[in-house]
Amino acid sequence: MITVNVQQAKTHLSEYLARVEAGETVTLCRRNVPVAEIRPLRPRSSQPRAIGLARGLVQVPPTFFELLPEDVVTGFEDPGK
């Protein structure tokens, strides 16, 4: 892990970004007090997520399909009413 003050980071940002891309974490400090971290993002998966991973974990109650009260429907159509 690298620790740098903001001015040093501004001066050498490209260098620190290259190190972050290589897997290191940079801690940014203001007057030697840590305030933020710059760390590499996890790589995006090249495979699409599988469908149905939460099957059986979610229950939709029958009341979900009941009609909404008229005043609620009207509120969606014209929120100013």
Residue for token pair 């997520």: 49
- Kindly state whether residue 48 falls inside one of the protein's structural domains: no
| Three-state secondary-structure class, residue 41 | coil
- In this prediction, residue 46 carries a pLDDT of 86
Calpha distance 25→39 (Å, rounded): 5
pLDDT at 79: 59
Contacts of 2 (CB under 8 A, 6+ apart): 16, 19, 24, 25, 26, 27
Provide the residue range defining the domain that includes 8. 2-38
CATH number for the domain spanning 16: value is 3.40.1620.10
Residues of the chain with pLDDT > 70, as a percent, come to 95
Determine, yes or no, domain membership for 62: no
CA angle 40, 22, 31 (to 5 degrees): 65
Task: Please state the domain count of the chain.
Answer: 1
Positions in the chain short of pLDDT 50: none
pLDDT at 78: 65
